[in-house]
Structure 1
Amino acid sequence: MKRFFLFFLFLVFSSCQYFEKQVPSEKELLQKELKSINWKEVDEYPSVLDCEKINDKKQRQQCFFEIMSQLIQEKLDIDTLSILYPELDTIEVKVTIFPNATLKFEPQFPKDSATYDTIKMDSILRARLIDFPKVNPAIKRGIPVKSQFILPVILKEKNNK
């Protein structure tokens, strides 16, 4: 029994080295976690109330883009932009959705924008792109984040409706 006790005591003291592991520092763990996050994608895309009932991520994203494009087109249809620039059939609008659910619209002018009065177009677009329904921001790891995307907006002439 004494031999067993000595053997057990020897085993206990010598086995402690197997349990001793170096714990990574807090900074190392943070850096490792930050590198593992894909910052180019969000967990949930921005959404409007009409798209909330859709469970599929891709379908919800598609629904959101369609509704936003439709709303922007409706707001621009009532303006003279298509009459002032009949050769311009599509413009791109950069939409930024901030974590606090506010929206910012920036028109992206064509490469040959020297032929257009960009200041006038910009003021018309900014005046029309107001009063949108509430948009829920994108979610990344449970936290609302800023997201940006570019929507093509088709300008329709009044006489083609």
Structure 2
Amino acid sequence: MKHFVFILALLLLCACDDLKVKKTSTEAILNEELKSFKWNEVDEYPTFSSCEFSSTQQDNKLCFEQTLSAVILERLQAERIIVNHDVLDTILIKFKISDLGDLSLLHFEVDSLTQAEIPNIKFLITSSLDSLPVIEPAIKRGQKVNSEFTLPIIIKVN
């Protein structure tokens, strides 16, 4: 019986070491979280109210890009653009959408030949942005965040 009590006491002492709780500081937790945080991705892309029916994140992104392209294209088609030579070019437009849903143009990349043929192309595109519907900003971890993206616009004028 003495041996049994001795062995039981020894097992309890050894088991107590396994029950020690490791303390983790909030800084360590934050550092671990920051390592796993994907800064270049959002949980939900910016969206227009007409795109809220989309079921997946990719559908929302596609709907947003198509709606934005359609608004720009509609404005360009409403203008009478006269050129001396045929124009077939891809314009890259870099946008920023603030956490309040405000869209701003960051960078506009257009070929010099297209710029020469259509000198007011930048004005036409930026003025088309005034008629955009309300934009819901991107969401990351439940918070509205700023987001940036590049949209290619194909210009074809004969």
TM above 0.5, one fold? yes
Alignment CA distance shift 1:124-1:59 (3 Å): closer
User: Aligned pairs, how many?
Assistant: 157
Identity %: 31
- In structure 1, distance between residues paired with 2:29 and 2:7: 39
Query: Which residue in 1 is equivalent to 2:152?
Result: 152
- In structure 2, distance between residues paired with 1:107 and 1:73: 18
Alignment of 1:87-98 (within 5 A): 87-89=86-88, 90-98=90-98
Alignment CA distance shift 1:113-1:39 (3 Å): farther
Alignment of 1:45-56 (within 5 A): 45-56=45-56
Q: Which moved more, 1:25-34 or 1:53-62?
A: 53-62
Query: Which residue in 2 is equivalent to 1:83?
Result: 82
Question: Displacement of 1:94 after TM fit?
Answer: 1.4
How big is the alpha-carbon RMSD for the aligned residues of Structure 1 and Structure 2? 3.3
Alignment CA distance shift 1:118-1:6 (3 Å): farther
Deviations 1:52-86 (A, max 9, x none): 01112212221111111111111233335x43685
Deviations 1:3-38 (A, max 9, x none): 999987776666443322331211111010011111
Q: Does 1:143 align with 2:150?
A: no
Q: Which has the higher strand share?
A: 2
Question: Displacement of 1:44 after TM fit?
Answer: 1.0
The alignment partner of 2:34 has SS state of: helix
Query: Which residue in 1 is equivalent to 2:57?
Result: 57
TM-score of the aligned structures, taking structure 1 as reference length:
0.74
- In structure 1, distance between residues paired with 2:95 and 2:139: 16
Query: Which residue in 2 is equivalent to 1:68?
Result: 68
Q: Structure 1 stretches of 5 or more lacking a match?
A: none
